[in-house]
Structure 1
Amino acid sequence: MALLTLRNITLAFGGPPLFDGVNLQIEEGERLCLLGRNGTGKSTLLKLLAGEIPLEGGEIMRQQGVRVALVSQEVPQGLGGTVFDVAAAGMGEATALLAEYHQVSHRLAEAANDELLARLATLQKRLEETGGWGLHQEVERVLNRLSLDADAPFASLSGGTKRRALLARALVAAPDILLLDEPTNHLDIDTILWLEEFLLKQVKTLLFVTHDRAFARRLANRVAELDRGRLYAFACGYDEFVERREALLEAEVTRQAQFDKKLAQEEAWIRQGIKARRTRNEGRVRALKKLREERRQRRERLGTATIRLQEAERSGALVVEADNASFAYGDRPIIRDFSTTIMRGDRVGIIGPNGSGKTTLLRLLLGELTPDSGDIRLGTRREVLYFDQLREQLDLDKTVQENVGEGNDTIMVGGKSRHVIGYLQDFLFSPDRARTPVRILSGGERNRLLLAKLFTKPANVLVLDEPTNDLDAETLDLLEELLMDYSGTILLVSHDREFLNNVVTSTLALGGDGRVREYVGGYDDWLRQAAAEAPAPAKPAATTAAPVRERAERPRKLSFKEERELEALPERIHLLEEEQERLHATLADPEFYKRAGAEVASVKERLEALEAELTAVYDRWEELETVKGAVK
């Protein structure tokens, strides 16, 4: 018997059906990845399984005694006390005893007195009577396994550490099925690698929602997708699921086209007039009515977002140059002796552990902070758009429309006036959704809204701080394509390994010691180059070292985008060299100096930029050819 079975689940919240006859079985040992567009009900389904919200129709059957624990996407409000208190809350009735025992023990360690000793003895006796002593040891064991400080105040933790504490609370309950909603959000790459390894070794049955394709690829042995109220399960891994889903969607398009053609033929027949009505076949009329009803009830697949970037006039060839720049908060060094040159068109990824200084580095590169020593030189004609991971640019109390229109019904996009409602439909916000407060939007919808708000303004430098959090796979793919075709400069902070591989051409890696190292290529390129360095750069914690070494030893294949990039590089080099030759010839012509005036300096500046750009392009060509050759 399955651990958990869903039969004909329906749920509507008073509107269109969110679930319309959902069926699912979860067997022991399955690691099921749940996918679907933003707003299709993934988080709601997890809450149903955890018993946090009631059913409207259908039934959920659980094997007798089965335990289910959910780690939600958002950290619950109002959680206080220490990490131990939060984790012990998963122990049920023994929670209060365990929390008090831990607090009294901690106070005794600081200053012993007879009253505390007497209270500790009473608590020990009650814990022994209720079996809580073993539970106390289990809490400490789980916290140690997750590298958590039991005495740390929960409220003072970073977002990623809070998520680990909530994972500890779920694991303490020893669930038969662990439910995880976007577990990689707000975690750095090292912690994600650790989490992958931990779940593979320590959790037997798992149902998780994620936008992280690398995470899904590593963990899932089964995939299910929520689409238009139905759930479709596939007994395969992530990559095979993508292929099978595409085939199903193509078949659906063909089937619907055939259906629509037949319906159109029957509608034409019924309208042929008096002669046709005299010979009308009543069975055919009934069949037509049935076709009309079937077409009326068809739920169309959600559209694809139409995301466009407005590019400002080109920035200067130099975007930013750092020369031995250092920055510290008090006595704590954040950035040490950092040097780099970022040219127009560069796509730079920034990676590092949480708290290592990624946001500080961004602010230095944008000129928002002044280095304590060294120098930061900013380029000219920079038009910057900044996507912040906390989405603080959104007013939660205003509607979607008000956030984008800023009090106006129309906005200027690409030099043309557009109604805000129509523009928002490009980002998959229906007119009704556009009039709702931002506060009730899902995380993915808020991300799409912030993209919509930002992309009304032209830019030639795009700064993205964790833009992929909560985005569904299709919007993520679209954003990737958009950034690949963007001719401006990109600074990207992300923990999404595949997104980094597909978008960036160089990587700045922060190790947490203030040092910033620069590498050619994306995340996998960084892994390979860092592994080859001596001495090696700072490694992840021991729990993550094994998967890092394993990936670094395997030669990887070029992605489809990298293959396209490699094919285009010779032509790009040819054009750059032609321009370089023309400018050299211009400078060698004595007549040029007689008529050019101030243009001489401009030509020399362009030559310097061309030389730097050619160097970068040759390095990239060599890098891609090396990767391609290693696979042969």
Structure 2
Amino acid sequence: MEVLRFQQACLAFGTHPVLDKVDFSLFSGERVCLVGRNGAGKSTFLKVLTGQQSLDDGQVVLPTGVVLSRLEQDPPAKMDTRIADFIREGAGDLADKLQQFYQLSESLDADSPQQMRLFEQLQAELDSRDGWSLEARVTALCQQFAMDPDANLASLSGGWLRKAALARALVAKPDILLLDEPTNHLDIAAIQWLESFLKEFKGAIIFISHDRAFIRALATRIIDLDRGQLTSHPGNYAQYLERKQKMLEDEQQHNALFDKKLAEEEVWIRQGIKARRTRNEGRVRALKALRKERAARVETLGKVEFAIEQAERSGKLVFEASKLSHSFGGEPLMQHLDLLVMRGDRLALIGPNGVGKSTLIKLLLGELEPEQGSIKRGANLEVAYFDQHRQALDLDATVQDNVADGRQEIVQNGQSRHVLSYLQDFLFPPARSRTPVRALSGGEKNRLLLARLFAKPSNLLILDEPTNDLDVETLELLEDILQQYQGTVILVSHDREFVNNTVTSSLLFAGHGTILDITGGYDDVVRWQTQQQQRAEAASEPSKKSSEKAAQPASKAASTSQSRKLSFKEKRELEQLPALIESLETELSQLQQQVNEADFFSGPVDQTQGVLNQLAELESKLAHAYERWELLEAE
């Protein structure tokens, strides 16, 4: 069923077309990913849907009764309010109307036609919008997301704030859910939870994301916004990439042939004599049409082109940490960590938010002093540090001043270059280069930070969440450059594909101070966790010997043991043993299911170890119960 339709939608800002006579339909159950370069107008597209931005021409058609909700790109501010109240606000005026109905019903004057009319209107609207179940929906969402409805929103971390915002968007029972960069600032476990949840969502979804693994896992269709045109690509992300590349190649060939013909006609009009031109008015008119078509062409957005200014090689040793321990708020972030980073290593720091990844970087750079242990730093280190909070940027200064510190020239690879020319490699035209940083979008700020870093020589790159807000093309170019970089790379990123494509080893922050060194990227970490899970499953299987012995006939067991008369206490124990064995097996099965869950080993170490200890204890009790039952049966 069609739940949304664009009809000849037009929108432009100055001469920049965002939507140029766009037609688009969305159907129930679809999960559509909206892709496009930074600045193509993806977020504006969502604003048109929510009514925050009006079209210049055309219309957006929403069938009667279709409910639309949006999950904002940034997590909500840490407001001093109850989680339940925050979620309830997602229903818009429905919560106010429900409260108004209850207040009116308590003081209703049956002789007042005005009050009776309002009472009936409120009742009819609540009936049509299922307003009576609002409180039940708030309670159910809190339970589903494992959130305390009475807890304060200000106490939540970034991942939990995102969950609360999603619950707020869902409380209105939307038919269409809009998501703008939903994986930003989420750790990998939270991203995987979000993937699983959205796959079960029954309505339609339109989402914007740069996370290629997230797109591959979720999207059923790709729509590409490019120079005002919206192109639909059914199928998966890999098929879209192939078709997009073919479309760009065909467009390039067509434009080349067109430009060649236009150039030939321009030569003819300048060389031909006046009399000849008058006898070829048709050709003159055709030339004018060609000129008009060429002027109307919207060129593809430029490609980011950058290279890292590399310093002289550092010493062979970059960092050596010995027995490193550090904590925050009484919680250990690392305990007795031994770490060796050599020149040329590409190391990813992987783990949930708040486990100490950024803290370890600050310890290695000397910005923090460890509570215990020592750090040896190599010689001749030239560090380029990409900070996820963009603190290196002066928001009030212009783009070019942030890169060149007020100068007109920068030195790159030993040669002087004008800063405006350099910034055009990062898609900053001269007019944009003179703009204050405060006016830039998130993706532009990240590109500027890369421009600032790569303009200076380095042999050690430290990148803390560099992928947020970058479009896929820029991400892929950054991957290629990192693969060619001759120095050392330390990376923090929740983009699984970016990690896989750029690093050679990973530090897994397992929580409570435990940090594990694993060869490879994110997929190798998952493979290691799966192996640990399989070992736990193997350890949790009941002993086959005990099972086989328990299955032996009592007569056979009795033949191996001299029969005797059981005491009253032993008879009582023998009667209770089957129920005990059944209870132990049920409890053991439940624990095994918990251990088999995909995200079990991503939890805190003390919790996972506690469950594994409990599992081992149950297995021992069950084996003992079988042995006791066999012995008493035999006797």
For the aligned pair, the TM-score class normalised by the smaller chain equals 0.7 to 0.9
Q: Which moved more, 1:313-322 or 1:390-399?
A: 390-399
The TM-score with structure 1 as length reference comes to 0.78
Relative to structure 1, is the Cα distance of residues 71 and 299 closer, same or farther in structure 2, using a 3 angstrom cutoff? same
Corresponding residue number in structure 2 for 1:188: 187
Q: Distance in 1 between matches of 2:80 and 2:409?
A: 45
Corresponding residue number in structure 2 for 1:272: 271
Q: Which moved more, 1:231-240 or 1:73-82?
A: 73-82
Corresponding residue number in structure 1 for 2:18: 18
One-letter amino acid of the structure 2 residue matched with residue 21 of structure 1: K
Q: Distance in 1 between matches of 2:78 and 2:7?
A: 35
Q: Distance in 2 between matches of 1:99 and 1:453?
A: 54
Corresponding residue number in structure 2 for 1:584: none
Gaps of 5+ in 1: 101-125, 550-632
Please state how far the C-alpha of 1:197 moved relative to its aligned partner: 0.5
* 1:149-173 Cα distance to aligned partner (Å, 9 max, x none): 3233323433332222111110111
Corresponding residue number in structure 1 for 2:72: 72
| C-alpha contact 2:82 2:152 (8 A) present in aligned 1 | yes
Corresponding residue number in structure 2 for 1:2: 2
Corresponding residue number in structure 2 for 1:319: 318
Please state how far the C-alpha of 1:144 moved relative to its aligned partner: 2.2
Runs of 4+ in 1 over 6 A off after TM superposition: 97-100, 534-537, 542-545
Corresponding residue number in structure 2 for 1:334: 333
Corresponding residue number in structure 2 for 1:165: 164
Aligned length: 520
* 1:29-70 Cα distance to aligned partner (Å, 9 max, x none): 111000000011101101111122222211001111111111
Q: How does 1:26-425 map to 2 (within 5 A)?
A: 26-75=26-75, 80-95=80-95, 134-274=133-273, 277=276, 280-425=279-424
Relative to structure 1, is the Cα distance of residues 241 and 512 closer, same or farther in structure 2, using a 3 angstrom cutoff? same
Corresponding residue number in structure 1 for 2:607: none
Relative to structure 1, is the Cα distance of residues 176 and 24 closer, same or farther in structure 2, using a 3 angstrom cutoff? same
Identical pairs, percent: 52
One-letter amino acid of the structure 2 residue matched with residue 529 of structure 1: W
| C-alpha contact 2:323 2:336 (8 A) present in aligned 1 | yes
One-letter amino acid of the structure 2 residue matched with residue 241 of structure 1: Y
Corresponding residue number in structure 1 for 2:620: none
Q: Distance in 2 between matches of 1:91 and 1:544?
A: 38
Relative to structure 1, is the Cα distance of residues 376 and 81 closer, same or farther in structure 2, using a 3 angstrom cutoff? same
| C-alpha contact 1:356 1:510 (8 A) present in aligned 2 | yes
Give the superposed CA RMSD: 2.5
| C-alpha contact 1:80 1:86 (8 A) present in aligned 2 | no
Relative to structure 1, is the Cα distance of residues 273 and 391 closer, same or farther in structure 2, using a 3 angstrom cutoff? same
Q: Distance in 1 between matches of 2:172 and 2:376?
A: 54
* 1:304-349 Cα distance to aligned partner (Å, 9 max, x none): 1111101111111010012221111242211112112110000001
One-letter amino acid of the structure 1 residue matched with residue 196 of structure 2: E
Q: Distance in 1 between matches of 2:57 and 2:13?
A: 12
One-letter amino acid of the structure 2 residue matched with residue 184 of structure 1: T
| C-alpha contact 1:193 1:547 (8 A) present in aligned 2 | no
Please state how far the C-alpha of 1:452 moved relative to its aligned partner: 0.7
* 1:44-98 Cα distance to aligned partner (Å, 9 max, x none): 1011111222222110011111111111212456855122222111122343599
Gaps of 5+ in 2: 101-121, 538-592, 601-635
**3-state secondary structure, aligned to 2:69:** strand
Q: Distance in 2 between matches of 1:328 and 1:547?
A: 28
Q: How does 1:596-615 map to 2 (within 5 A)?
A: none
Which structure: larger Rg?
2
Q: Distance in 2 between matches of 1:336 and 1:162?
A: 29
Q: Distance in 1 between matches of 2:82 and 2:39?
A: 34
| C-alpha contact 1:325 1:338 (8 A) present in aligned 2 | yes
Please state how far the C-alpha of 1:415 moved relative to its aligned partner: 2.3
One-letter amino acid of the structure 1 residue matched with residue 63 of structure 2: Q
Q: Distance in 2 between matches of 1:546 and 1:64?
A: 42
One-letter amino acid of the structure 1 residue matched with residue 331 of structure 2: R
* 1:110-160 Cα distance to aligned partner (Å, 9 max, x none): xxxxxxxxxxxxxxxx99x96766211211211222233323332343333
Corresponding residue number in structure 2 for 1:496: 495
Q: Distance in 2 between matches of 1:445 and 1:81?
A: 33
Relative to structure 1, is the Cα distance of residues 75 and 224 closer, same or farther in structure 2, using a 3 angstrom cutoff? same
Q: Distance in 2 between matches of 1:211 and 1:547?
A: 24
Q: Distance in 1 between matches of 2:23 and 2:94?
A: 36
**3-state secondary structure, aligned to 2:92:** helix
Please state how far the C-alpha of 1:2 moved relative to its aligned partner: 1.6
Relative to structure 1, is the Cα distance of residues 431 and 487 closer, same or farther in structure 2, using a 3 angstrom cutoff? same
**3-state secondary structure, aligned to 1:470:** coil
Q: Which moved more, 1:252-261 or 1:137-146?
A: 137-146
**3-state secondary structure, aligned to 1:333:** strand
Relative to structure 1, is the Cα distance of residues 331 and 442 closer, same or farther in structure 2, using a 3 angstrom cutoff? same
**3-state secondary structure, aligned to 1:509:** strand
Relative to structure 1, is the Cα distance of residues 527 and 359 closer, same or farther in structure 2, using a 3 angstrom cutoff? same
| C-alpha contact 2:343 2:487 (8 A) present in aligned 1 | yes
| C-alpha contact 1:269 1:276 (8 A) present in aligned 2 | no
Q: Distance in 2 between matches of 1:536 and 1:410?
A: 61
Please state how far the C-alpha of 1:175 moved relative to its aligned partner: 0.6
Relative to structure 1, is the Cα distance of residues 521 and 207 closer, same or farther in structure 2, using a 3 angstrom cutoff? same
Q: Distance in 2 between matches of 1:191 and 1:527?
A: 15
Q: Distance in 2 between matches of 1:29 and 1:397?
A: 45
Please state how far the C-alpha of 1:396 moved relative to its aligned partner: 2.1
Corresponding residue number in structure 1 for 2:447: 448
Q: Which moved more, 1:264-273 or 1:70-79?
A: 70-79
Q: Distance in 2 between matches of 1:473 and 1:386?
A: 22
One-letter amino acid of the structure 2 residue matched with residue 187 of structure 1: L
Corresponding residue number in structure 2 for 1:484: 483
Relative to structure 1, is the Cα distance of residues 514 and 278 closer, same or farther in structure 2, using a 3 angstrom cutoff? closer
The TM-score with structure 2 as length reference comes to 0.78
